[in-house]
Structure 1
Amino acid sequence: MWIETSTGNRIAKDAAISGPDNIVISGNCTIHPGASLHGDVTLLTPSTGPTILIGKYSHLNSNCQIIPPVLQDDKHGPVAIGAYCIVGHDTVVRLATIGNRVIIEDGCDLQNLSIIYDCCVIRKGTVVPPKMVIPPFSEVLGVPGTDFKVGELSNAYKKLIETEAKELQLQT
């Protein structure tokens, strides 16, 4: 069961969205069952902007968690997810920014205050360590300390990721 908004968003009725007044979801986004968005955290510096911002055509799969990053004690900073982003099943997002056209596969852990720039692919089960910056057009896989790697992606991924995000919206 879905709730559909006038801007084309589809939000599962059993998605856990806390602090909805602090969350901005742009048009044509999909939030699947069991996904949780924690918009009810206390920000370190009061701002007029949202705690969680999700760009157009983004797709949050089941059981993913969007948790604003911790800056100091129990105070958080905002999290921004760009347009045409796909967040995989069972993925935990605690970072500051995900750029546009990013695919994050299932079971990833994106740790506190990391930044992922545009046109990246984060492979299944990857752990992105705290405060790491992933440059544009990167493929990231593995776990730090064991097999963590950051490689380059072709410029063709820009259009491929955008197309994939739009197709997912049509399939839902």
Structure 2
Amino acid sequence: MKNMMKRFICSLLIASLMCVSIGTSVFAADNVKAGVTGVLEIPHEADDLERRLNEMTYEELRTVLMEEFGATPEEATLLANYQMMGNVQTRTFPSNPEIGDVHKESFTVHVALDASVAALAAAIVSGSKYITLAKALTIASAILSVGSNVLGNTVRVTVNYTYGYTNDGVLGWTPGYFEYEIL
């Protein structure tokens, strides 16, 4: 009797989680219209991706970009070169920040009808030199997950950087979340 009750409760919980995730993605896809704005958090997985990308050689990086992110050879070369340069520009950031200060950097990017994560990331790094490749890939993935109405539109992205200590204990500017607006 106890095992049957456990199985029933487990099945009920799994079914409810599936309903919530399916319902949420359908809701998100239906509500994307021009002029709509939203806020998405850059997940902590972006830091793991950044560490992983930093440890790769040029050829390994090109291969991963093509296999995992759908990059064409040209996009993979562009993104790998960007990653290997490794100098995210922070010239426009305040020179004397205090812990807790927030700085916003905005850029616009056109999302092609057949956009892949890598293609959109290439457009992001071309339009903004304030973001790392890992963050660009994460933002591109998040924008494409907003819904199909984003395809073929221009999106204004504002990345919010906060000055403070990172999880690694380093003091600096950290992107925490970004806002998007479909134009």
TM bin, normalised by shorter chain, reads: under 0.3
Q: Which has the larger radius of gyration?
A: 2
Please report the TM-score for the alignment, with normalisation by the length of structure 2. 0.26
Q: Which has the higher strand share?
A: 1
| Length-normalised TM-score, structure 1 | 0.28
Greater per-residue helix proportion: 2
